[in-house]
Chains A and B, each alone.
Chain A
């Protein structure tokens, strides 16, 4: 029986799209957490981290309630795009988004907070707007940490199982991602297919982690301290 490559492509597509969203949302949230002081900041941080520690089924349940066809969000989505969100591959994107964004926010906040304040002061002192300060100074300074975090987030969304199963389901050829396909293959006694996918996913994850490690070492020249 020829191997069905669809789950792998779907997973890659879901991971790419959700990582892109996670990057934008994550950077925004991280910047706010790192630079603004407001009431309930640490509560917000904890809420963002929650998906990392909640059981996937719990998170999936929440999302099902939140995004289901009976909910306002579900209604809005249906009105906008002409079809329900749950049990589509887009729901898989949402699922992995909730699993990868916290990772990104955590790393990006730490990265933003590690930037020596004097660089930001210098940029403002030299007449830079907040936007220019962000694009030309802060972001380049944390670029490597952010890229590494993005790689981790990508790897994380590639491997999501529980939440995806809860809100995107297991519809072969439509919402069956690679981790669900592996589960299916093992359940259905198709050991050969499972082995191939397992090896591919492991190799991919290893490659991404290696990349992330190389990114986090050696930023600007040899041991660039704040001074």
Chain B
């Protein structure tokens, strides 16, 4: 269990903009993901917990130990914090073999049983065959498993991972997810993971904290956050939505309905409690919730005409991008998804199903 309240200020320099980190969050057992774009302060947060960076103010609590307390002047040295850290570049010592890397980490364990511990760890992470090799002789996946094993061997109270999925291709990512799930099962060590990848949040996170410009802007389960981002910035960060500026024209709680104005068009949505007529809000809707059809005559109910700008093929979906920053995603393959079906037609209508419309 980590409880952190961190403030750190970097003054603007000649070649760097200033940055201020000011956030408060807690991470319980399980996997907590710190999510944010680069420069949001994710790594700085991790470094503060590991003790590589000393915050200006605040307090970091790991289980019942104070790692840092600005007011009391407590700053435990990194080597005494027992926070396993998996570096983005793995930071395996290049002059040591895998086994030696693990042995280096095991040196604070009692001498007796150290060897057995290292051997057991190598087995658990399927590294026995390559234990005698140096890091440069290993594949990316092996290096990552070794660096996780090395971080875990000292029985840390929390495992910190800095952008573990970046730089891995799809199969290696899947393998990494499996490894991390196994870590959770076998070791029960709480995990704090930093990423800018929404896929990783869905795959791994039990809790997530969204960071933006050094502040924690929302926290909760990934499902909750994706269903209801706290504000338009979070929605943008998640990168999953069509975000359209609309004005509320009418609200009808009795029929659970509302009318929204987008440019010159009117859309009907559900009733939005706590809003007023005339409010300027953001409509957000996932691309896969929209429907698209070639235009024939006047747009019908809840349809907006658009010009198809381009189509993007994704592994299992086809993404249609329309004028007005509207994107629609359809499953690829029959009966929807052949490119030919879409490429010939320029004028389209996009239908917004009323029940899927939500606002921020």
Residue among A128, A132, A220 making CB contact with B94, cutoff 8 Å? A220
Q: Is the CB of B154 within 8 A of A121?
A: no
B108 close to chain A: CB less than 8 A: yes
Q: Is the CB of B108 within 8 A of A226?
A: no
Residue interface bits A122-135, CB-to-B below 8 A is 1, else 0: 11111111001000
A16 close to chain B: CB less than 8 A: no
* Chain B residue with Cβ nearest A119: B91
A181 close to chain B: CB less than 8 A: no
Total A-B contacts with CB atoms under 8 angstroms apart:
74
List B contacts of A121 (CB < 8 A). Answer: 50, 52, 78, 85, 87, 91
Residue interface bits A215-227, CB-to-B below 8 A is 1, else 0: 0000011101011
Give chain A's interface secondary structure class: helix
Q: Is the CB of A118 within 8 A of B94?
A: no
List A contacts of B83 (CB < 8 A). Answer: 125
CA distance A122 to B83 in the complex (A): 11
B79 close to chain A: CB less than 8 A: yes
The count of chain A contact residues (Cβ–Cβ below 8 Å) is 24
Q: Closest Cβ of chain A: how far from B310's Cβ, in Å?
A: 35
**Given known A122-B87, A136-B104, A224-B136, contact A129–B79 (CB-CB < 8 A):** yes
Q: Is the CB of B79 within 8 A of A127?
A: yes
B105 close to chain A: CB less than 8 A: yes
Q: Is the CB of B95 within 8 A of A140?
A: yes
CA distance A122 to B52 in the complex (A): 10
CA distance A125 to B162 in the complex (A): 14
* Interface members, chain B 65-104 (any A CB < 8 Å): 77-85, 87, 89-95, 104
A137 close to chain B: CB less than 8 A: yes
List B contacts of A78 (CB < 8 A). Answer: none
List B contacts of A222 (CB < 8 A). Answer: 136
List B contacts of A116 (CB < 8 A). Answer: 89, 91
* Interface members, chain B 150-169 (any A CB < 8 Å): 150-151, 154
B107 close to chain A: CB less than 8 A: yes
Q: Is the CB of B108 within 8 A of A127?
A: yes
CA distance A136 to B107 in the complex (A): 12
**Given known A118-B89, A121-B78, A121-B87, contact A128–B104 (CB-CB < 8 A):** yes
A22 close to chain B: CB less than 8 A: no
CA distance A126 to B96 in the complex (A): 15
- Where the two chains meet, the residues of B that have a C-beta atom closer than 8 Å to any C-beta of A are 50-52, 77-85, 87, 89-95, 104-105, 107-108, 134, 136-137, 150-151, 154
Given A124-B51, A125-B81, A221-B137: 13 more A-B contacts, CB < 8 Å: A118-B87, A119-B91, A121-B85, A121-B87, A122-B87, A124-B78, A124-B79, A126-B154, A127-B80, A128-B107, A129-B79, A141-B95, A220-B95
Closest 7 A/B residue pairs (Cβ): A118-B91, A122-B91, A124-B78, A221-B136, A126-B105, A127-B108, A220-B94
